[in-house]
Amino acid sequence: MSKFERNKDLAQEVVSTAAESVGSVAKIISGTVVDVSKQIAGTVGEARDHVRAGKGHEVIATTAETVGEITKIITGSVAGVTREIGDTVTDGLEMHEATQKAKADDAADAQAAADQIDDVSDDAE
């Protein structure tokens, strides 16, 4: 495989990995939006019922619980996005290292070929 083909393959891997990461982040974010929306809808419904029943203190407690739940949801999403970004960076570093190794291998192959040419030239003289 030529150096160009290896670099092309590595570039395709980077693009593919980045696309997968974007997809994963989008799933995390859409899941977060759905979860937060459900929490808010549930709290609004409970708050309305408590206000009608004259239990304002329960509205405050329910709101505090909802804020806590939303905080958990957001924290989980941030952790998921951070993992995805970390995985993408790790993949990029591994691909960079593979490229460097391929370059070193190419250089070693070129040197070996040059040494063989020198040996043949020396034998011919």
Percent of the chain with pLDDT over 70: 67
Whether residue 125 is contained in a domain is answered as no
Side chain identity, residue 56 = G
- Domains contained in the chain, number: 1
- pLDDT given for residue 4 in this prediction: 59
Structural domain range at position 9:
3-118
pLDDT digits (tens, 9 = 90+) for 73-119: 878 877 887 888 888 878 878 887 888 888 888 888 888 888 787 76
110 vs 62: which has the higher pLDDT: 110
Instruction: State pTM to two decimals.
Output: 0.46
Mean confidence (pLDDT) of the chain: 74
Whether residue 123 is contained in a domain is answered as no
Whether residue 47 is contained in a domain is answered as yes
DSSP string, 52-96: HTT-HHHHHHHHHHHHHHHHHHHHHHHHHHHHHHHHHHHHHHHHH
